[in-house]
């Protein structure tokens, strides 16, 4: 089912390529809990369990599987996207990969960047940025861990900022990956 919120999430999930993704999941109320996803090598805290979906993403370098984790909280969405590019990013400057992912996200939702900074997750490079389009505010962090791109973000209406944004973004952690 495609929701109004799902349509901007569709565009933002295209950070990695021109993926087509939509899902709306109502979050249950309750305390925040930590959720671990060893196959994708991360944990995150959220007010309810993220719902995972998979989508093959065609790119000029081949097709890649995008695994998306989504929690919808009222009019806001909490999202983690994971793509393993394998050898497609071998030898590429991580800063260029991250910049391309950020630019793709911004362009696909027709947003403008209001804040941006380089960040790290342990030893791994990343970008943190905030952006807005006519109706939505996005707060995102993207990390490149070897060949795996992690996208962690919140999206909410400009008129209703999501109060748990920092808590959500700061809760993202790498864990040992199982295959």
Residue 16 falls inside a structural domain: yes
Q: Is the pLDDT of residue 107 over 70?
A: yes
On the 0-12 / 13-18 / 19+ scale of CB atoms within 10 A, 26 is exposed
Token pair 């791109």: residue: 149
Residue 18 falls inside a structural domain: yes
pLDDT grade for 104, boundaries at 50, 70 and 90 = confident
Domain that holds residue 168: 4-25+35-174
176 vs 4, residue with greater confidence: 176
CATH of the domain at 39: 3.40.1000.10
Determine which of 22-36, 41-55, 66-80, 136-150 has the lowest per-residue pLDDT on average: 22-36
62 vs 4, residue with greater confidence: 62
pLDDT at residue 60, as a whole number:
75
- Phi/psi for 71 (5° steps) reads -125, 130
Q: What is the pTM of this model?
A: 0.84
Average pLDDT, the chain: 84
Residues 108-120 have a mean pLDDT of 95
Residue 127 falls inside a structural domain: yes
Picking from 169, 159, 15, 156, the residue whose alpha carbon sits closest to that of residue 77 is 156
Alpha-carbon separation of residue 123 from 31, 41, 120, 136, 146 (angstroms)? 31, 15, 6, 32, 11
Residue 30 falls inside a structural domain: no
Residue 163 falls inside a structural domain: yes
pLDDT at residue 30, as a whole number:
56
pLDDT grade for 27, boundaries at 50, 70 and 90 = very low
pLDDT at residue 108, as a whole number:
85
Q: Ramachandran region of residue 91, left (φ > 0), alpha (ψ -120 to 50) or beta?
A: left
Residue 179 falls inside a structural domain: no
CA distance 112 to 104: 12
Alpha-carbon separation of residue 19 from 40, 81, 91, 161, 172 (angstroms)? 19, 11, 24, 26, 23
93 vs 105, residue with greater confidence: 93
Total structural domains within the chain: 1
Residue 60 falls inside a structural domain: yes
pLDDT at residue 25, as a whole number:
32
């Amino acid at each position: 089912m495609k929701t109004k919120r799902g349509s901007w999430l569709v565009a933002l999930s295209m950070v990695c390529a021109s993926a087509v993704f939509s899902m709306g999941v109502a979050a249950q109320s309750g305390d925040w809990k930590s959720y671990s996803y060893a196959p994708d090598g991360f944990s995150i805290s959220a007010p309810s369990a993220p719902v995972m979906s998979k989508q093959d993403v065609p790119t000029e370098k081949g097709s890649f599987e995008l695994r998306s984790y989504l929690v919808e909280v009222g009019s806001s969405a909490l999202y983690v996207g994971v793509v393993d590019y394998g050898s497609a990013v071998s030898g590429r400057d991580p800063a260029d990969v991250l910049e391309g992912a950020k630019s793709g996200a911004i362009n696909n939702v027709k947003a403008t960047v209001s804040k941006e900074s380089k960040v790290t997750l342990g030893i791994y490079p990343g970008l943190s940025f905030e952006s807005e389009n006519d109706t939505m505010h996005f707060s995102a962090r993207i990390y490149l861990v070897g060949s795996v791109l992690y996208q962690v973000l919140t999206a909410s209406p400009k008129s209703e900022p999501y109060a748990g944004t920092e808590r959500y973004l700061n809760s993202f952690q790498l864990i040992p990956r199982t295959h």
